[in-house]
Amino acid sequence: MHGRPRKPSSKEEQEASAVRGKKLRSLQSQFIQFHHNHTYTKEALEVNAKLLEMNPEFITAWNYRKLAVEYHLKEAQSDGDQIDSESIESILDEELRVVENALMTNFKSYGAWHHRKWVLSKGHSSTDRELYLLKKFQKLDARNFHAWNYRRFITALKNIPAEKELQYTTDMIYDNFSNYSAWHNRSVLLSHLLEKKVEGYYPKENVLTEEYEFVRNALFTDPDDQSGWFYHLWLLDQTVKLEHLLVSSWPPNGSDLCVSDCYDIFPSLSSKSRALPLILCFSDAVGGINSSTVTVECEYNNSNLVWTPISANKSGWASTWLAYLIFPSEEVHTSKHYQVNVSIAHSEGIISSAGVCCSHPSHIAFTVCLPPSTTEHEKVPDIERIYWLEENFPANELHSEDLGLINSFHQLRISEDNKPKTYEMNAKIIADEIAYCRELLSEMDCKIGKLTLARLLMAHDALLSASHGAQRQNMVRYKEILELYHDLMKLDPPRLQYYRDDYSLVFLKQELTNKESLLKYCYRYKNSTSSRTNNSLCLRLTDLSLSRIGCIEQLLWVQMLDLSNNELHSIEGLEALQLLCCLNLSKNKFCSFSALEPLRLLKSLKVLDISCNEIGAHSIDTRRYLCASPLTHAVGSDWNSKEFAISGPEMTNYWDAFSIFRGLNLRQLDIAGNPIADQKFKLFLCKLLPAMKWLDGENLR
């Protein structure tokens, strides 16, 4: 275990193991027979008890005991509703004894602890002895999380105050700073006390200040022990929880949107029932977004909008939500302007995955200009081939409307009267922690200390941003944060990819949240070989060694995105860019189509370049822990290999491509340079994407 070589067993140990194995097989054989015959006699239960004492991890044997207990409890009833209380207590006490013997063999047995909980939940057993038993086990192993979990269960049954249990964790931590389970139990108890605003644990800022001081004692005593650092990270999370959850939207607040040239991006606008996407982006995954929690006012009735979470899972929670504004299709001779107001008032119905309610109102106001609804727009023009070449992105070609779009983006109009006052207080707490962390690092080179300092600096910026809004102080120390991650990559090579991902997120935040810096990556696309005009605004984040995509909330306006020549292995979060129609992911590190799953949610996507990646080089995408089989995926029931005339290995290799591309309406796809991209696979794609016009530069029509 943990890299230590296994010592060969001695002859005596081998003989003892053989005897034990023979006895265990005999007990298992007897038990299975009793189980199949539903035999719950005293002899059968004794065999089961001996078996569990030898092997407490035998879950089926514990389930058998539950069935036996239920059987004997029914027998304990006599004369109608009269119950023999002594018999019931005797039956359950025997179960507690069996569990205790099993725990003596392995006090980390899941089955044994669960069975003991089940017995106590019957309500006929005394809980007085349980805390004594727990002390006994925690003396053997103070970090045993099974015992701590069971302790929470018992204290709830006995109604022991959380304040008293918190003092118990304090005593255990002072006894051993390295007791991770005690730190974890402390976070559980404090979460409850803070949420209920128990006397002495409010205001929250005072409690957090005291807890930072408490954990600091552990960190300065033994900086290399991770237990205190993990608790410090939990405290940091509590400190930066933002009560204002909405961070951006599309259309942006204050914008004047003209959609006369957007029919290739929003084909629904050319239909008889014209629809425009409305996107809300939150700082965390939230639930409860509906027409009662989000009010939309418009000249044309949009009061009953249907909000959809943009997420690959089916949980109903997402950081991005989408609805469609429906505009009338009556024919008019001039363009029509519509004023739209969106309000998210204080609502307990909107709650984040971190348990934070939306307690501060947000308001968005914008204007939509629609051209006359005539037959000239009923047919959407086909998209021309896009060339991702340097000459197609000339420098200094930005228009004044581009600058207006970028400048008008970012900020929402937050009610000044309701702006949270706690953010500045929490920023002061974080600033103090930054000073203490720097003091510690001045005395020693601590990896987790450097990582914590980087997180503290980012958290401080988040709180200042929430507090000051558009007038926030432009004093973010990105250079220092990036240097910290550079140091961590050198100090801790086994976690290199983790640090690279965090580095990419910080770098993008540095480049994209500053308007002047953002403009360096914005270009106008020019296609000199086409007779049609295509002047799409493109965000080019190329050759930046990015391994992850972040700062998505700043990019909801992007329609054309170039991420080529990076080190991306995931595009998690990209699904929020619902306006995206052209995407270049060539020359990255994608190992399978499963890593491109967010593409399934980009219904406006027309052009995709995933050439020169590693798709097909690995039979299983180990980075995503997905099995390469349609039987283990949600789309397995839709997979019909006979429809595409494939069999053998292709059934395994093609199903994930089917799951990604089947709902898309791609016109242009580049996939050359991937191991999977042979002629047979290209024929499969042609059948899967009947609307596709260009494949690897070849005109299919």
For every residue of 529-572, DSSP letters joined together read T-SS----EEEE--SS--SS---GGG-TT-SEEE--SS--S--T
Q: What CA–CA distance (Å, rounded) separates 421 from 625? A: 43
Both tokens of 209, joined, read 């200040």
**Cα(20)–Cα(288) distance, rounded to whole angstroms?**
57
What is the pLDDT at residue 669?
A: 97
CATH code 2.40.50 for 246-381: no
d(CA 194, CA 192): 6
Distance of alpha carbon 476 from alpha carbon 466, whole angstroms:
13
> Which distant-in-sequence residues (6+ apart) come within 8 Å of 399 by Cβ?
524, 535
C-alpha–C-alpha distance, residues 51 and 34, integer Å? 13
The position carrying tokens 């896009």 is 386
- What lies within 8 Å, CB to CB, of 269 at 6+ separation is 259, 262, 263, 275, 276, 370, 377
| CA–CA dist 297, 652 (Å, integer) | 50
* CA triple 205-208-212, angle to 5 deg: 140
CA 619/CA 650 separation, integer angstroms: 11
DSSP assignment of 315-359 equals SS-EEEEEEEEEE-----SS-EEEEEEEEE-SEEEEEETTS-EE-
- Parallel, antiparallel or unpaired: strands 347-352 and 336-344: unpaired
Q: Which of 303, 251, 302 is nearest to 273 (CA)?
A: 302
Q: Are strands 607-609 and 668-670 parallel, antiparallel or unpaired?
A: parallel
pLDDT of residue 278: 92
DSSP structural state of residue 592: S
d(CA 13, CA 23): 15
How far are the Cα atoms of 173, 268, 296, 346 from residue 468, in angstroms, in the given order?
Answer: 38, 38, 26, 20
Give 112-115 contacts, CB < 8 A, sequence gap 24+: 112/52, 112/56, 112/62, 113/146, 113/149, 113/150, 114/62, 115/62, 115/65, 115/66
pLDDT value of residue 396: 67
pLDDT at 356: 77
Distance separating alpha carbons of residues 389 and 408, to the nearest angstrom: 29
Contact (CB, 8 A) for 185 and 151: yes
Which CATH fold would you assign to the domain 515-699? 3.80.10
Q: 287 has which bridge partners?
A: 351
CA distance 520 to 508: 13
Contact 544, 567 (CB under 8 A): no
Q: Which residue stretches of the chain have pLDDT < 70?
A: 1-6, 78-83, 243-244, 259-273, 301-303, 312-314, 330-334, 346-347, 373-383, 396-421, 467-476, 528-535, 618-653
Q: Could you tell me where in the chain the CATH 2.60.40 domains are found?
A: 246-381
Start and end residues for every CATH 3.80.10.10 domain found in the chain: 515-699
Encoding tokens for residue 102? Answer: 């099993």
Burial of 632 (0-12, 13-18, 19+ CB in 10 A): exposed
Q: What is the DSSP string of 438-465?
A: HHHHHHS--HHHHHHHHHHHHHHHHHHH
The predicted pLDDT at position 330 comes to: 63
Cα distance between residue 317 and residue 319, in whole Å: 7
Extract the tokens encoding 618.
Answer: 């690995």
Measured CA to CA, the distance from residue 182 to residue 230 in angstroms comes to: 12
